[in-house]
Structure 1
């Protein structure tokens, strides 16, 4: 006797295989763009967490941010950016205001760095409106005594740097606009003019005001460590538009143009089909 053909089980198995292939195929086609995934990550360094566009570095690829000055490194749990070979410690970032607070790394808890240089111009950044760029000056290699009483007037801001078993005297001078009419300050500046070199450190305007009432060396060090403000240029809202559409902000390295990395590919400004 002939056995009946088992057609329906075979067809059922074929249907099942076809169905599984159909539901698996879209998954392979919808894999997230690696650039989108990479730029979705943020930089974590010490107390500063969640660092994102326009900054890049560490776990964030170069295409996730802007120019080399926006690269962040992490040195002993301190986020650092480098501008014209000078390192700046990043204390705070405000993406809404496109602003950050930084301090000179070489002067962090230190008035005697290995090399003496004025703070580099901050391009591609600009100073914030509350930053004073010329009212805090550190003088090095000053005479240990003066024929006038200038030395005693400056005693509170006097410090000593020791290099190769040789010590030199330095002073920190804080002033506000209009102070040059003060006779004592004029005498002080004449005296400080005999020092070997000087370095100007940007600080916040409020710091200068406070130092007029309390110009001790500890207060001056603390003022420097509070840092100063910088801003980066507005991108005409492109990044906010990109983020709102579900994308991640970045830059085309060859052209320097803004790009929005979406799950499937990149677009010039925002991801399609999103509000």
Structure 2
């Protein structure tokens, strides 16, 4: 499932950037796929951050004041010998590793594109008790794309929690002939 941050997918420097939070997932329900790497966005930076190469700089207003901002991977930070403490706000966002390579050459335009496209996560159905119940009843765990609620996909139709037992028959795999 691909998800993206609404705030950052619309603007690399969104309104209210002073209150922006890191991207975190409930790791009981979701896990990042391995092809992703965190990119750090640094906001409200001191003048020392101006040593960052221009393609990585972001023009950003924090609390109505124009402040330096930039983005980088851990590798770029070490290459630049940049001290992240020069900035008051650091936000980590997962980005596909393929896009990270493009960020290094493509600057803020590539960053905006990567943030709009989002990142892939795996929904860990097996950690949800309802899913065990669904699978035990012969169904497949899913999420309703309209309501975003748990759904159990059964042979005849989706059900909210589990598949009903066949009427007049206790066997899941029975055949009927006329």
Please say if residues 239 and 249 of structure 1, whose CA atoms lie closer than 8 Å, have aligned partners that are also in contact.
no
Which SS does the other structure have where 2:121 is aligned? strand
Unmatched 5+ stretches in structure 2 = 126-130, 142-151
1:152 deviates by 4.9
Report if the CA contact (8 A) 1:161-1:170 is conserved: yes
CA distance in 2: counterparts of 1:221 and 1:154, whole angstroms: 17
- How far did 1:273 drift? 6.1
Higher relative contact order (CA 8 A, sep 6+): 2
Q: Which runs of 5+ in 1 are unaligned?
A: 1-99, 252-258, 265-269
Please identify the structure whose Cα radius of gyration is greater. Answer: 1
Q: Give me the TM-score of the superposition, normalised by structure 2.
A: 0.68
Map 1:64-83 to 2 at 5 A.
none
Shift of 1:117: 0.3
Task: Provide the aligned length of Structure 1 versus Structure 2.
Answer: 151
| CA displacement at 1:193 relative to structure 2 | 2.1
> Is the CA contact (8 Å cut-off) linking 2:57 and 2:108 kept in structure 1?
yes
Q: Which residue of the other structure, out of 70, 86, 97, is the alignment partner of 1:205? A: 97
Note closer, same or farther for the CA distance 1:240–1:219 as it changes in structure 2 (3 Å cut). Answer: same
Counterparts in 2 of 1:1-275, with a 5 A limit?
100-113=1-14, 114=16, 115-123=19-27, 124-132=29-37, 134=38, 136-143=39-46, 145-146=47-48, 151-163=50-62, 165-176=64-75, 184-185=79-80, 187-188=81-82, 190=83, 192-212=84-104, 214-234=105-125, 235=131, 238-240=138-140, 243=153, 245-251=155-161, 259-260=162-163
CA distance in 2, matches of 1:261, 1:112: 50
Alignment partners' CA distance in 2, 1:218 and 1:125: 29
Distance 1:101 1:194, change over 3 A: same
Alpha carbons of structure 1 residues 156 and 239: separation in structure 2 relative to 1, 3 Å: same
